[in-house]
Structure 1
Amino acid sequence: MRLRHKPWARPELEACPFVVTQPKEYKGKWKDVFGNDNDIYLELGCGRGRFISENAALYQDKNFIGIDIKDEVLVYAKRKVEEKFKEINKEVSNVRLIIGDITYVDEMFGRDEISRIYLNFSTPWPKKRHNKRRLTHPRFLEKYKNFLRKDSEIWFKTDHEEFFNDSIAYFQEMGFELKYITYDLHNSDFKENIMTEYEMKFSSFGQRIMFLIAKY
């Protein structure tokens, strides 16, 4: 779906203290950005921000970074974070939102900077000629290895079974250990799930959600 251009979105984002417009300048320096040594968790494609805002409010001893390329989407994530932290009467200190292209994510982070990656309902790119665009494809997993800590994890959710099965093979091919796999997350024994906006919508229609944890 094509997003309607919102000319007010970029100025609002640029005025926000926790939005980063030039992330490559901070490669290797993200602990300085947050001002602490806490683990940094990265959501690739944070959408409208429900997942990152809920996580950041719940786990304030962790730092969270969300990336999205569209101003028109990220501006709502920014507002969602502000709304959530106002609700708990806290300043936003452990969240940064990046306006950026995930294709170049390895140019934004230095070695051992990230302790966990979240891939929530990324585009499945079902046509074989487009598979290399998948965020679980080996070419992306190789990029992530440049900045993931050893023993860190990638948490992957999707409602697309072919994408999920292919991703299992990708992780195995690239030497990741599959710690947890379920083809029906909401009826599984996994208790730490936080739903995205997309997940809430489609699970309400009875859509099955698949989930895995891959250890680096």
Structure 2
Amino acid sequence: MRILVVNVNTTESMTESIAAQARAVAAPGTEIVGLTPFIGADSVEGNFESYLAAIGVLDRVLAYDEPYDAVVQAGFGEHGQEGLKEVLEVPVVDITDAAAHLACLLGYRYSVVTTLDRAVPLIEERLMLGGVADHCASVRASGLGVLELEGDQDVVLAAITDQAVRAIKEDGAEVLVLGCGGMAGLDAAVREATGAPTVDGVAAAVKLAESLVNLGLKTSKVRTYAPPRPKTVVNWPLHRLLQR
């Protein structure tokens, strides 16, 4: 089985970290291929960058010319998975949906700890679209920018843990969700510090993708995610214009 794990930003080191976490949880025999978009921002922290990332991710996946069995979109609260589901036959799993659905299995209410405050509305909207907002106690911002997650890990963990503890004490959260692909691999440390189950979206998405493939399940093409109607799309795909 081969799973494409696509970073939504263009920072290669973050793609490598995300792919490493994906490989750490993947079953024997599952190959993880980490992909970085050819276009986009080095970090995705708002609507403009998120919409740009949606195009970049779609283009990057279409440029991959080897067989694969599933795609994981490794951006928390970002746009784009719907387009992937239309054009691909294989399962597409977004880390936001994967983490939230698993969190709902582990407790009555969960909280998301993300990066900057401006990302909170995007995540809240994504949770509503995914049908998992009713059990979300809160979405809290750690105050860290996405690229700061690659800095001093003691500082990073302290900021995330502080909001995680507040979510439990003040918001009634029973389960915690790490709200950024760049937080991949920090779940064990947060779980130890808080005593609450902590879900890493990258790990959750990889395991759900494996399950869908093993069960022979694919995205429904009956209505919402039916293939796009044939028409002329100017200057698409981008990777051909960029000669990638």
Per the normalisation by structure 2, the TM-score is: 0.35
User: Higher strand share goes to which structure?
Assistant: 1
User: Higher helix share goes to which structure?
Assistant: 2
